[in-house]
Structure 1
Amino acid sequence: MKSRLNLTIEEGLLKSIKTYAEKQHTSVSDLVEKYFKNVLRPVKKESFMNMVENLGPHDIDAKANLKEMYYQDKKHGN
């Protein structure tokens, strides 16, 4: 079920919105509804493994002491 909503919008902006909606073959109501649905949509969290897989190649030796490298970087301001 749909309900009515009254909005107060600056006249010039409303004209631009109506023009945009017309060019998109939609209505201002549909634009507003889609906007609110987008705002309220929960953010999909990416899994840690997906983030790791998306990292790309590296040139770190597999036998490197990562903890030591980290502290050396911190020591040198990196």
Structure 2
Amino acid sequence: MKSRLNLTIEDSLLTSMKKYAEKKNTSVSNLVEAYFKNLTKPAKRETFMDMVEKLGPHNIDPKADLKELYYQNKKHGL
């Protein structure tokens, strides 16, 4: 079900939005609805792989003993 909403905006902005909507083959109402949907949609949860990709490259020797590196870093407060 759709409801009616009254908005008060500058005349020049409304004129610009009508022209924009016409170029996009839509209506000002549809543009406003899409904008509101975008504002209210839940934020995308970051996945584990997203976090890993943010880490970027590392300089750890592939042959290194990671357990030993962990304890060395812990010992030195890193």
Which TM-score bucket, shorter chain as reference?
0.7 to 0.9
Q: 1:2 to 1:59 in 2, by over 3 A?
A: same
Structure 1 unaligned regions, length at least 5: 71-78
Deviating more after overlay: 25-34 vs 54-63: 54-63
Structure-1-length-normalised TM-score: 0.72
- Mapped to 2, the partners of 1:16 and 1:60 lie a distance apart of 56
CA distance in 1, matches of 2:77, 2:21: 55
Q: TM-score, normalised by structure 2?
A: 0.72
| Count of aligned pairs | 69
Kindly report the root-mean-square deviation, in angstroms, between the aligned alpha carbons of the 2 structures. 2.0
- Counterpart of 2:8 in structure 1 is 8
- Paired with 1:60 and 1:12, the residues of 2 have a C-alpha distance of 59
Structure 2: which 5+ residue stretches go unaligned?
A: none
- Are residues 1:33 and 2:33 paired? yes
Q: 1:23: which partner in 2?
A: 23
